[in-house]
Chain A
Amino acid sequence: MALFAAFQTSLLLALLSLRAYQSEVLAEPLPLTPESLNVSIDSAHQYLNLQWSVHSLAYYQELKMLFQIQISRMKTSNVIWVGNYSTVVKRDPVLHWSWKSELPLECATHFVRMRSRVDDAKIPEPRFWSNWSSWKEADAQKSLGRDPLFLFPKDKLVEEGSNVTICYISRNQQDNISCYLEGQQIHGEQLDSNVSAFKLNKVSFIRKTGTNIFCKVDQKDVIKGIVLFVSKVLEEPKDFSCETQDFKTLMCTWDPGTDTSLPKRSSQSYTLFESFSGKKILCEHKNSCNWQVDSDSQEMYNFTLMAENALGNRSVSVLFSLTHRVHPKTPYNLFLKNVSGTKATVTWKVHPIGNYSTLLCQLDLLGEGNVIQQHNVSIKENGEYLLSELEPDTEYMARVRCADANHFWKWSGSISQKFVTAEAAPSEALDVWRNVKSVSGHPTVTLFWKPLSKLHANGKILSYNVIVENLDRPSRLEVHSVPATANGTELTLDQYSYQIHVTALNSAGPSPASVIVVSGDPGNEEAEEERINGTEDGFSVSWKPQSRKAIGYVVEWCDHPQDLPCDLQWKNLSSNTTSTVISSGAFRPGVRYNFRIYEISTERMANLLEKKAGYLKELAPSDNPQVVVSNLTSHSFTLSWKDYSTDSQPGFIQGYYVYLRSKAEKECHPGFKKATLSDKSACCQHRIDNPEQKTFVMENLQPESVYEFLVTPYTSAGSGPVDTFTKVTTPDEYSHILIRIILPMIICVLLIMITCYLKSQWMKEKCYPDIPDPYKSNVLSLIKSKENPHLTIMNVSDCVPDAIEVIHKPEGSKIQFLGASKSLTETEFTKPAYLYLLPAEKNYSGPGPCICFENLTYNEAAADSGSCGHFPVTPQAPPSQPGPLTSPENLLKALEKNYMNSLGEIAAGEASVNYVSQLASQMSGDKDGLPTNPPEPVHCSEYKMQMAIPLGLASPPPAENSGLSSTTPLDQSEHYR
């Protein structure tokens, strides 16, 4: 048993050994292990290029094989990529394969090995992998220089949005290196002690000159960098299409999209490939390509357009039939023929496309930019069409474009031509209205009409014809021609009815006549005015028909009622209309618009139906009336504003507010109520509801008080401005009485004063004559009554003058005399000179008692008497000539003469003359100054100093001299005897 078991084991081992041997033998015939594996580095493109060979293909010419490749980084055990490469191996081949590294190959050492396996159907399975080749090293760092720092990859071109890995290699591990992308520091992953890698995700396009990435060694002033050229993404061509205009050339066009060109790198190129013919052309332009159509045999085309740049390509295809891509050339020779007012013929030509092709042409008629008519015409080469239903005197444009009639692809370009149709007579009658007024007793009709619209004028209006026909007295028609620029005319008519025809004329003829009948008698143009309210849309006007014969209605108003002319407007309405809305852009709030509704009779005569007035929107009055104050008494006054017009206000005046305020009165009068003004001051307000009441009496006022009042109108929108009050002061209660008394008194006094002034001479003589009449003296009556009833008045003629005292007194002494009374005592008097007119005997006895007067006129009287009085003697009169003075005549002459001279001398201030009465009393206090032998007066009743004082020096004599001493001599006086 044990022996059997040992045999069995031996057999099993032998079988296993045989099996192993067989497998080796089976594999041996195809020892296809890759040989001579060589690895090189393409730094510019970051490729690892592998080259190897396969030997011992003794039994086969070629064999499909599969190679498995392993790539490790840094060390062989760090496999970063494993892949298969399948190819057909021929006898003694050298095989190539490349691997693109994401990490720049300079950044790390790479290792490559591979093994192979037959993958051909000629070799039965099972198939086994060959042994791995030995690891091959690819180390780019060895070839680098001795620089302290390197940065890879250099000048790499990538597409925007892709991921890029860069790295730096430092020769010194101690160096602290920082890297920046466009100024921003980037952080990477350290691959080994000298190498760091940076993965940049989705790099963006910054500029065509590239994106700078640089690293620098801190504190060593070492800087290294690379430029990453980021290209825009190559786009697929858009709107790719091809078409022909003549079946000879196909023009293919497309939108190339973004330009991906960069410095040192050309832009994308475009290639056109046609698959049916197998032709391929490189396009000269970036957005178009011309393809020559060789013959008519090829109907279908399948084009592929490929865009290509250094980073890739994009393609787009289009399949079409040539006959479906016909784009005709623009038509030419477009003309207009036989253009009338309503018709015109259009002709044009097209470029022929092929022998049998028909073109469909579209003819558009445009007016003012809009297509009015559109017609389709099928033609071969020449087109023609008759346009109708045109408007006269209108500018049109004919426009033609064409397309393939069988297979529409695109319209050709358009050709157009403008033209103007001929004129025709105006098609519609004028809209005419009239205004009848009386000027100097003659009815004057002003006709208005609205210009015809362009649609109805049918040409340029040259003039208007106005034909006037007298309906009452048939006579010759009056024809007026009105220039085209006018919109109306004025006719002066008689008191008859007239029918007026108005037509508009252009070069083609007149318009239909517009007929209106006016009567010379305006008739009753009055109607009660009704108020209407305006809205945003205008004024809603309605009326009641008066007769059934109306053929229509006319509403008349003025757009600018405050102006002259007021811009008369009217609106025609049909006979079955009884209301309308009048709207106008000229309507403004706060303006009163008056509407008149006329009924047009069958005789075409207009009769006033109704009048309306309204505001688009009522406004508050802007001004207050001018108020007049009258009947001012101490308790009342009257306000009136009768000049205020209620019709021309910005709203219907509903009444007035009368404001009154007074500092004296705190309470309001009856009829007033308290109101607060905008300035928060209080006052009293009275409302007048009648707009026509334009007076108001303020009553129950206090005398001698100040009142302020204001009158302001109000409308539905509010009242006028409450700003400027007018002050009124009530007079004193008795002042009127005083005025009645004082005034007449003042007048009387004035009259008396005037009378006195006028009669002053008379008054003087009566009241205070220069020479009082002794007979009228009161003294006389007093003496008579009390003392001596027989006392009589002495007659001047009874006096005989005995001496004349002449006093020469210089002006200076007079001043002294006037200025100081003591001079009378202190001054040494010069003895006066006396002219003794009578013998100076001591025993002389006069004829009796006498009275002397102090006046020259008195002396005159004395002269008249021929016997009495002193008289002055001028210094020129020598004392040796006393003779003539003795006679009364001579005396009189001398007196007259001396009087006149003395006046003149006195006026000169040289001398004064004192008349000394021979009856002067010795009772004078100034005895020393008196002559030693004065005449002894007898029975002199009284005396006065007779003194002529120069003007300006008149002064009352001192009191002590005013008594009895009339002969008080003055200093330096000369006395003549």
Chain B
Amino acid sequence: MSCQLAILCLLTLLLPLLSRGAPMSPAERITQAYNLALSMQENMSTLLQTYLQAQGSPFSDPGFSAPELQLSSLPPADISFKTWNALDDGERLSRVQGAFLALSQHLQLVGDDQRDLNPDNPILLAQLRDARLRAQGMLGNVAAIMTALGLPNPRAEDTVGLVPFGASAFEQKCRGYIVIREYGQWTDRAVRDLALFKAKYPL
């Protein structure tokens, strides 16, 4: 039920992109993307907990955290405040777009991994699917903002090609953890970025 609601919500946010009505202003598009980012933020902790619980120890241990695990195919969300603050609109949105492009592809990969590892956990699989759809929704929203602001829209790249497919089950579990963790961090960053845009382009 909650999954269906989430999809409906996503569709509501995505539909304006497809609508043929009056074109939305940049501020409206920013607000829309900002709202999507907030809803993604709300669902983050649930997704991470569901994922970790399904993987067994040590992932399911209380307080599990492995910041040392990184995935080179994902752009890091961490950035110094000075650098972040100095980003211009185009660069800022390009980075968000690039990150969510990579995340949506990686979430597809994690979903496939978990379909093998946890075929009997439909809740986890549904949440991963929702996360991927949201990431794609964010991608579309950011692209729409860039278009509305008249910024160049870089071509989408295939980031999954860099992902090692011959990973072991443990590596798959780790990879899924990294992707979801980074997805959360990029969502937080997107909220912050879009809040900046909201302030800059008020309704």
CB neighbours (8 Å) of A180 from chain B are 57-58
Q: For the complex, what is the distance from the CA of A221 to the CA of B55, rounded to whole Å?
A: 20
Is B119 interfacial (CB 8 A cutoff)? yes
By the criterion CB–CB under 8 Å, are B68 and A263 in contact? no
By the criterion CB–CB under 8 Å, are B56 and A209 in contact? yes
By the criterion CB–CB under 8 Å, are B69 and A223 in contact? yes
CB<8 Å pairs between A and B, sample of 24: A154-B169, A182-B56, A183-B57, A183-B58, A206-B56, A208-B120, A209-B54, A209-B56, A210-B56, A210-B117, A211-B56, A212-B55, A212-B59, A212-B170, A212-B173, A222-B68, A223-B69, A223-B174, A225-B174, A226-B170, A227-B168, A227-B170, A229-B169, A264-B117
* CB of A213, distance to nearest CB on chain B (Å): 8
* CB of A314, distance to nearest CB on chain B (Å): 25
Q: For the complex, what is the distance from the CA of A229 to the CA of B118, rounded to whole Å?
A: 13
Closest 7 CB pairs of A and B: A221-B68, A227-B169, A225-B170, A154-B168, A183-B57, A182-B57, A212-B56
- Interface members, chain A 147-163 (any B CB < 8 Å): 151, 154-155
Is A663 interfacial (CB 8 A cutoff)? no
By the criterion CB–CB under 8 Å, are A212 and B57 in contact? yes
By the criterion CB–CB under 8 Å, are A214 and B55 in contact? no
* CB of A45, distance to nearest CB on chain B (Å): 15
* CB of A288, distance to nearest CB on chain B (Å): 24
Is A822 interfacial (CB 8 A cutoff)? no
Which A-chain residue is minimally distant from B170 (CB atoms)? Answer: A225
Q: For the complex, what is the distance from the CA of A155 to the CA of B67, rounded to whole Å?
A: 24
CB neighbours (8 Å) of B61 from chain A are 183
CB neighbours (8 Å) of B170 from chain A are 151, 154-155, 212, 214, 224-227
Q: For the complex, what is the distance from the CA of A89 to the CA of B173, rounded to whole Å?
A: 48
* CB of B171, distance to nearest CB on chain A (Å): 8
Q: For the complex, what is the distance from the CA of A206 to the CA of B57, rounded to whole Å?
A: 11
Is B116 interfacial (CB 8 A cutoff)? yes
Q: For the complex, what is the distance from the CA of A4 to the CA of B162, rounded to whole Å?
A: 90
Is A207 interfacial (CB 8 A cutoff)? yes
Q: For the complex, what is the distance from the CA of A151 to the CA of B168, rounded to whole Å?
A: 11
By the criterion CB–CB under 8 Å, are B116 and A264 in contact? yes
Q: A227-B168, A227-B169 are in contact. Are A209 and B58 (CB under 8 A)?
A: no
Is B11 interfacial (CB 8 A cutoff)? no
Is B15 interfacial (CB 8 A cutoff)? no
Main secondary structure of the interface of B (DSSP, over half): loop
Q: For the complex, what is the distance from the CA of A211 to the CA of B58, rounded to whole Å?
A: 10
CB neighbours (8 Å) of B68 from chain A are 221-223
CB neighbours (8 Å) of A183 from chain B are 57-58, 61
Q: For the complex, what is the distance from the CA of A223 to the CA of B70, rounded to whole Å?
A: 11
Q: For the complex, what is the distance from the CA of A307 to the CA of B168, rounded to whole Å?
A: 28
Q: For the complex, what is the distance from the CA of A211 to the CA of B69, rounded to whole Å?
A: 20
* CB of B188, distance to nearest CB on chain A (Å): 22
Q: For the complex, what is the distance from the CA of A166 to the CA of B69, rounded to whole Å?
A: 23
By the criterion CB–CB under 8 Å, are A209 and B168 in contact? no
Which A-chain residue is minimally distant from B58 (CB atoms)? Answer: A214
CB neighbours (8 Å) of A151 from chain B are 170
Q: For the complex, what is the distance from the CA of A227 to the CA of B175, rounded to whole Å?
A: 14
* CB of A104, distance to nearest CB on chain B (Å): 13
Q: Count of A residues near B, CB < 8 Å?
A: 24
Q: For the complex, what is the distance from the CA of A207 to the CA of B55, rounded to whole Å?
A: 10
CB neighbours (8 Å) of B66 from chain A are 221, 223
* CB of A211, distance to nearest CB on chain B (Å): 7
Q: For the complex, what is the distance from the CA of A264 to the CA of B172, rounded to whole Å?
A: 13
Which B-chain residue is minimally distant from A210 (CB atoms)? Answer: B169
Tell which of B58, B59, B69, B173 has the most Cβ of chain A within 10 Å: B58
- Interface members, chain B 114-159 (any A CB < 8 Å): 116-120
By the criterion CB–CB under 8 Å, are A263 and B119 in contact? yes
List 11 extra interface pairs beyond A155-B169, A207-B56, A212-B58, CB under 8 A. Answer: A155-B170, A183-B58, A209-B117, A210-B169, A222-B68, A223-B68, A225-B58, A227-B169, A227-B173, A263-B116, A263-B118
Q: For the complex, what is the distance from the CA of A529 to the CA of B173, rounded to whole Å?
A: 97
Which B-chain residue is minimally distant from A223 (CB atoms)? Answer: B66
CB neighbours (8 Å) of B168 from chain A are 154-155, 226-227
CB neighbours (8 Å) of B57 from chain A are 180, 182-183, 212
Which B-chain residue is minimally distant from A207 (CB atoms)? Answer: B56
CB neighbours (8 Å) of A224 from chain B are 170
Q: A154-B168, A183-B61, A226-B168 are in contact. Are A209 and B69 (CB under 8 A)?
A: no
Which B-chain residue is minimally distant from A265 (CB atoms)? Answer: B116
- Interface members, chain A 209-259 (any B CB < 8 Å): 209-212, 214, 221-227, 229
Q: For the complex, what is the distance from the CA of A224 to the CA of B174, rounded to whole Å?
A: 9
Q: A155-B168, A183-B61, A264-B117 are in contact. Are A209 and B55 (CB under 8 A)?
A: yes
Tell which of B67, B69, B116, B170 has the most Cβ of chain A within 10 Å: B170
Tell which of A155, A212, A224, A229 has the most Cβ of chain B within 10 Å: A212
* CB of A562, distance to nearest CB on chain B (Å): 66
Tell which of A180, A211, A263 has the most Cβ of chain B within 10 Å: A263
Q: For the complex, what is the distance from the CA of A264 to the CA of B168, rounded to whole Å?
A: 12
Q: For the complex, what is the distance from the CA of A214 to the CA of B173, rounded to whole Å?
A: 12
Which A-chain residue is minimally distant from B54 (CB atoms)? Answer: A209
Q: For the complex, what is the distance from the CA of A312 to the CA of B112, rounded to whole Å?
A: 28
Which A-chain residue is minimally distant from B115 (CB atoms)? Answer: A263
By the criterion CB–CB under 8 Å, are B117 and A263 in contact? yes
* CB of A482, distance to nearest CB on chain B (Å): 68
CB neighbours (8 Å) of A154 from chain B are 168-170
